[in-house]
Amino acid sequence: MSNFSTGLRNWSRKALYNKIDLVTQACYTQILPGLYLSNAKAAADKDILRRLNITHVLTVEARRLPKSTFEGTNISTLYIRAYDTPHTNLLPYFPMANAFIEEGMQAGNVLVHCHFGVSRSATIVIAYIMEKYKLTFEQAFLYVRQRRKFINPNPGFVNQLKEFQRLNYDVNGFHRFEAYVHVNARKHKYKIASLAAVAVGVLVPIAVLVG
């Protein structure tokens, strides 16, 4: 295990948020009405999903949640495979993720998570808030950090969020298509989320993973 990974794991085990261990304990935070940011432990907890009336779960992780998490539910899921490294490029996924979150908030409540709920998922939530409210990276980052004090997108993600701002919250069609292909290549069953989500993709279908 790299020093970076070891350091992050040890740091996550400290008393960052009411002495919650982000590896072993469920930890979720409401960022907006209808939008929650959490670690994997909370996202895999059926009782929490039920209590929060979650209808959409967005996973930004190296691996999916167990299929059993969503058995017997009508929860829509989107899985973006991503590692928490500065070289991982999340920018192409912002339009897809933002469309998924927006649709979820119209239908019910959305939970976005990675492993700790610190870097990858925080990046996705910041990108959504930037686009929705036309905020700078700094403004959106501070807003999210006020609610979840230990978010810490890695330097590569910070640069991508700043680039998203520079691009006026847009990503060109080629990169959107690239993101769609990467998601669609997972050999899972997909369905089109909605006409609105397709429109956001500029004629590129936005695929939403189900169960």
Q: Is 23 exposed, middle or buried (0-12, 13-18, 19+ CB in 10 A)?
A: middle
As a 3-state breakdown, the chain gives helix, strand, coil percent values, each rounded to 5, of 45, 15, 40
* φ/ψ (deg, to 5) at 85: -130, 155
* φ/ψ (deg, to 5) at 111: -120, 125
To the query of whether residue 114 is one of the catalytic residues in this protein, the response is yes
Amino acid at 105: M
User: Which residue in 22, 43, 58, 114 is the catalytic one?
Assistant: 114
Q: Which of 42, 93, 87 is nearest to 65 (CA)?
A: 42
- Residue 181: Cβ within 10 Å count: 12
Q: Give the side-chain half-sphere CA count within 13 A for 185.
A: 7
Distance, in Å, from the CA atom of 129 to the CA atom of 106, rounded to the nearest integer, reads: 15
Active site amino acids:
114
